Structure 1
Amino acid sequence: MRAAPTCGIWILILALWSPAAITGTDLPVLAGRASVIDGDTLEIHGERIRLSGIDAPESSQHCETMAGEAWPCGRRAAQALDREIGTSLVRCEPQSRDRYGRFIATCSAGAGDLGAWLVRSGWALAYRRYSLAYVDDERAAQVDRAGIWSGLFTAPWDYRAARR
């Protein structure tokens, strides 16, 4: 009969276990209260996190209603994300860092993927250049005329390119 592991062995097992083992990267899982920076960027514990696979309108970006009236779609995307998170804790699983030093991560609040929610709600586009994960969510938002799909808009990547 084998003896049960001692407390010291359990401490060693816990010391070797890390959030990086869960994500398969050397990057830490980030979790906590999130501040919304813009429609696709959060901050947790002083770390900036760019949501993976999506691109939301820039904070300064405006869209148009079908009647041709401008509205601040970039600010509204950030406000919608802030409302969706509310007081929930956010958990982000980083895949990499971008050229600005931000983590690129899939984040969830409760049981929901925030990127999927933003795209399906029409507040962000699937960023096909980097991922196809949210293409079906984008199609659903377009059919529902949700968020920015309710009128006319410039894709965020085109908006940034035009400002350079």
Structure 2
Amino acid sequence: MSHPKRLVNPALAAITLVLAGALPACSGETVDPDLQGVASVIDGDTIEIHGTRIRLNGIDAPESGQRCQNARGTAWRCGQQAALALSDRIGRRQVNCQQTDTDRYGRVVADCFAGGENLNRWMVREGWAVAYRQYSTAYIAAEDDARTGQRGIWQGRFDMPWDWRAERRSGQNVAPTMQRLYEFAGQNWSCGPRRTCSQIGSCDEARWYLQNCPWGGKLDRDNDGIPCESIC
């Protein structure tokens, strides 16, 4: 007895083929749901997705309390601006991260993407972070591009984030590189009498007192290395 032929719906067959191509092969690879979704920006090189803290691989951004100098020598909050730049770039897009390592603090280290764009590379290329050569060489070309274009922190002078952190840990108020920026030859400032921020005429003067006077630390109330923040 012959069986009747079963007709195949061409449209259904096409959909089946598309879905089959979209599904991952049975190779054991899985996508970690904790590494994709809506991201909260912690700072210029750290985000959080579903409660998982993720450090962007191969880059280092200025710390939240760090300041840089623009081309005119004016201090600005480069650490805060780096975080804002990353947040603005992500916008409302979903972020997908591919883990490369786990750091000593237990954070996931990953390359992260939004709309197919590599956020790590974008941060370095726009001058909001530097290539973290100690851990990766992937973003050196992007850093060279930012430096040539004088974008972001490359518009002026700054301390490398790892140097800034090391100096903070050692208890120094101002990094040696920043001390060289503030050599006040010819100024008649002295440590007596003691002054308050309202009696100080410039940020340079405030930094001189911070570095040279026993009472200078009083000008830095939040101990972030920046005196008289109303003028600095």
SS at match of 1:154: coil
Residues 12-161 of structure 1 mapped to structure 2, 5 A cutoff: 17-19=28-30, 28=32, 30-161=35-166
Q: Which amino acid aligns with 1:146?
A: R
Distance 1:150 1:16 in 2: 47
Deviation, 1:77, is 0.2
* Cα deviation, residue 19, structure 1: 2.0
4+ residue runs of structure 1 moved beyond 6 angstroms? 13-16
2:65 is paired with a residue whose SS is: coil
Shift of 1:31: 0.3
**Could you tell me how far apart the structure 1 residues matched to 2:148 and 2:60 are?**
19
Offset at residue 16 of structure 1 (A)? 7.1
Please give the alpha-carbon distance, in whole angstroms, between the structure 1 residues aligned to 2:74 and 2:152: 15
Q: Residues 66 and 32 (structure 1 numbering): CA distance in 2 closer, same or farther, change over 3 Å? A: same
Q: What residue ranges of structure 1 are gaps of 5+ in the alignment?
A: 1-9, 21-27
Note the C-alpha offset of 1:119: 0.2
Percent identical among aligned pairs is 53
- Return the TM-score normalized by structure 1: 0.84
Structure 1 position 18, deviation (Å)? 3.8
Note the C-alpha offset of 1:111.
Answer: 1.2
What is the CA-CA distance between 1:15 and the residue it aligns to? 8.5
Give the Cα–Cα distance (whole angstroms) in 2 for the partners of residues 33 and 45 of structure 1.
8
Shift of 1:96: 1.6
Tell me which structure has the larger Cα radius of gyration.
2
Structure of greater relative contact order (alpha carbons < 8 Å, 6+ residues apart)? 1
Q: Kindly indicate which of the two structures has a greater share of residues assigned to strand.
A: 1
What residue is the counterpart of 1:3 in the other structure? none
Aligned length: 146
Q: Aligned letter for 1:53?
A: G
Deviations 1:57-91 (A, max 9, x none): 00000001122211000000000000000000000
